[in-house]
Amino acid sequence: MNITERFLKYVSFHTTSDENSNKTPSTPGQMVFAKYLADELKSIGMKDVDLDSNGYIMATLPANTDKKNVPTIGFISHMDTSPDAVGEDIKPRIVENYDGNDILLNEKEVIVLETEKYPEILQYKGQDIIVTDGTTLLGADDKAGIAEIVTAMEYLIQNPEIKHGEIRVGFTPDEEIGQGADYFDVPKFGAEWAYTMDGSQIGELEFENFNAATAKITINGLNVHPGYAKHKMKNSMRIASQFISMLPRHETPEHTEGYEGFYHLTNMEGTVETSTLSYIIRDHDRDRFERRKKEMQHLANKINAEFGENTAVVELRDQYYNMREKVEPVMHVVDLAFEAMESVGITPIVKPIRGGTDGARLSFEGLPCPNIFAGGHNFHGRFEYVPVQSMEKAMMVIVKIAELLESKSE
């Protein structure tokens, strides 16, 4: 099975994760897909294939070199797709030899992937691009990564003249809801370092990401009959609106890029009596990240000083930290990926992740884990696409990393 056929098979599985679930994996479709993957890994010749009760898959490609000191490395991708868009009944289509024009995804609903809005697609003119029908996401995040890893392992098995050390692969559930590393057994995985195949455009190589936290602000008001409310009512929704306006208006996702952090209001609900605001807090710099969290409490204190004690209650929860702290001491793992990309004709694009990956948390659990491109664009939405040639190149990068590591070992 070639990489395109494999990817198209993978996206037929409904694996949307659910942050409101109390199970792992959070949705049954992920386990269905995991069982399929485990069987496929066995069928191509992988060893020690293990699927645990939480939906985590691990498998081994044994070393085929006489060298005894080649480090064991790993490649990791996630099986779930984002709940931000419909992930069921995906209808992918291949636009062959893309001509550089707008792509009509859905004639009936007049859904068009416009080059003016998504100019990045123009760099793939002449290539074969897999798109959606405009009603669902595609699932290149991160089924492209899985297809690249499985195809690379199959290629190495079928081409034993390419010498390599032991390689471990891991596929995780629930990455999109921040739980992909919850039950990942790093000692069991047994690699010295790994790479997540979870980046976007061809060439991306990332070893730093946001520090991340969630904030829930509960505003406690007081409901009184509006005809007799003077000096008595505390309308929690109006107070919540005041809290929102107190945060820097340009430190939001729609006004930031690169290394700039932000506060992002993700949900608000309310009545006169009680309102809740849900935020995510992001910053690459650890000190600024901590200051952002303190600012949330500082603003709540201001609200409380004006409206009374416990009017605003803040709950903060750290999600993950910037992997740079753990990867910089072992930068040779990044250098190896950089060299592998150049060896297969790719110009590396080293950039910070404006988000997170399983690798961020795994790096803090003792498994340094930079991120490599999977090739897709416009993740989490109906305009998601992936060039076939980008997936092929990513597969070649995996093979080249394994080959270079063996050749550099004593």
Q: Which residues are catalytic?
A: 80, 175
Distance of alpha carbon 400 from its chain centroid, rounded? 24
pLDDT value at position 19?
87
For a pLDDT cut of 70, what percent of the chain falls above it? 100
State yes or no: pLDDT of 81 exceeds 90: yes
State yes or no: pLDDT of 1 exceeds 90: no
pLDDT value at position 410?
82
pLDDT value at position 345?
97
Concatenate the DSSP letters of all residues of 46-79 into one string: -EEEEE-TTS-EEEEE---SS-S-PPPEEEEEE-
pLDDT value at position 358?
87
Closest CA to 131 of 393, 390, 386, 375: 386
pLDDT value at position 21?
95
Q: State the amino acid at position 228 in one-letter form.
A: Y
Per-residue pLDDT reduced to its tens digit, 16-43: 999 889 999 999 999 999 999 999 999 9
When pLDDT is averaged across residues 187-202 and rounded to a whole number, the result is 96
State yes or no: pLDDT of 120 exceeds 90: yes
pTM of the model as a whole: 0.90
Q: Higher-confidence residue: 4 or 356? A: 4
Confidence label for 356 from pLDDT (cuts 50, 70 and 90)? confident
Per-residue pLDDT reduced to its tens digit, 299-343: 999 999 999 999 999 999 998 999 999 999 999 999 999 999 999
Closest CA to 79 of 62, 57, 98: 57
Q: How far apart are CA 174 and CA 181, in angstroms?
A: 8
Closest CA to 376 of 210, 173, 147, 193: 147
Per-residue pLDDT reduced to its tens digit, 240-260: 999 999 999 999 999 999 999
For a pLDDT cut of 90, what percent of the chain falls above it? 96
Q: Which residue has the tokens 């024009």?
A: 101
Q: State the amino acid at position 25 in one-letter form.
A: P
When pLDDT is averaged across residues 5-23 and rounded to a whole number, the result is 96
Query: What average pLDDT does the chain have?
Result: 96
Ramachandran category for residue 139: left, alpha or beta (phi over 0 → left; psi -120 to 50 → alpha): left
Q: How far apart are CA 343 and CA 359, in angstroms?
A: 24
CATH code for the structural domain at 211-320:
3.30.70.360
pLDDT value at position 357?
82
Q: Please count the other Cβ atoms lying within 10 Å of the Cβ belonging to residue 320.
A: 22
Host H or E run for residue 83:
none
The class of domain 3-208+322-408 in CATH terms is alpha beta
Q: List the beta bridge partners of residue 315.
A: 216
- How far are the Cα atoms of 21, 95, 209, 229, 369 from residue 323, in angstroms, in the given order? 27, 37, 6, 52, 8
Distance of alpha carbon 182 from its chain centroid, rounded? 14
Q: Higher-confidence residue: 241 or 1? A: 241
Asked which of 97-101, 162-166, 178-182, 195-199 is least confident by mean pLDDT, the reply is 178-182
Task: Assess contact for 59 and 50: CB atoms under 8 A.
Answer: yes
Task: Assess contact for 36 and 13: CB atoms under 8 A.
Answer: yes
Task: Assess contact for 276 and 268: CB atoms under 8 A.
Answer: yes
Give domain limits for the chain: 3-208+322-408, 211-320
State yes or no: pLDDT of 113 exceeds 90: yes
State yes or no: pLDDT of 136 exceeds 90: yes
